[in-house]
Amino acid sequence: MELRDFRYVLAVAEELHFGRAAARLHMSQPPLSQRIRDIENDLGTPLFTRTSRRVALTPAGQALADKARHILALADEAAALAQRVGEGLAGRLTLGFVNPAMDAFLAAALPRFRHQAPDVELRLQEMTTPQQTDALAAGRLDLGFIRYAGQTIPGIAITEILREPYVLALPANHPLTNNPTPSLADLHNQPLVIPPPAALPALAQAMAAAFAKAGASPIPVQEASSKFTTLGLVAAGLGLALVPASAQVWQRQNVAFRPLAHGLPPVIHAAAIPEGRATAMAERMMDLAREEGKRLEINDKWKNASGGQRG
């Protein structure tokens, strides 16, 4: 039996009149009557008793009509689900992100996505950029928000989301807090908390090149993988740190932030989606992230916010 056969049987079962059932199905009566006879012949049992005055269901017809109602409801539900998935309103979205992306734009984009698509199952994973690109290539991620440095990633489509500057985090009582816009040269011989070079080699190279250009040689005193640890070490007075400007959303007592007069290249946030495997859900999330990046007017806002103490 085809799906339309269940519709035919159910229409006749509910109308108990072939003429009305045919009208409901937007067809003429003879083809409907013939198809019901064909179904009965295929099943080897009558589904309806027919007289000149009435049509009635047989027990077999009642049983089939009950199942047909359930099958058709499931079919309608499946079609509606497919449509919602196609529109990015249902399904599962597995999303990777680097931590600065959460601070910069993702924390604002996520509730908007949840409001627009409450039936989407979100799976979030904090991952480094290399981990994300590997997972995207292997099909374990639908979308990644990565640090981007202009590199070509085979099989991955890149869309820039926003750029944010680095700022200087320093103990609130440090003399450099009196300088509203310190430069990298001002960090010569200053103790510096740095990210692990092995984990972020491109960033380590960029920092080394920027300090060399400024003629400055800070003193690395501690490595820290997370910005939370980094800011904790700064608050403890162990050193200064260069952090993405979005880190200022975290209030930390005894830590001040200052914009750099001549600083490092900006952090470029980008969305990464496997080529040929973009889903409507991933594109919806990416569009919201881009809107948040534009809405924040990120560089001007952070520059204006960088002068005060956090805590």
| Better-scored residue on pLDDT, 49 or 264 | 49
pLDDT digits (tens, 9 = 90+) for 60-104: 999 999 999 999 999 988 887 788 777 777 788 999 999 889 988
Nearest-5° Cα angle at 306, 303 to 309: 170
pTM for the complete prediction? 0.69
CA distance 289 to 271: 9
CA distance 92 to 300: 36
What was the pLDDT predicted at 12? 95
- 149: helix, strand or coil: coil
* Dihedral of alpha carbons 55, 60, 66, 72, sign: negative
**Structural domains in the chain?**
3-86 (1.10.10.10), 91-163+267-301 (3.40.190.10), 166-259 (3.40.190.10)
Using the predicted structure, report yes or no on whether residue 285 has a pLDDT greater than 50: yes
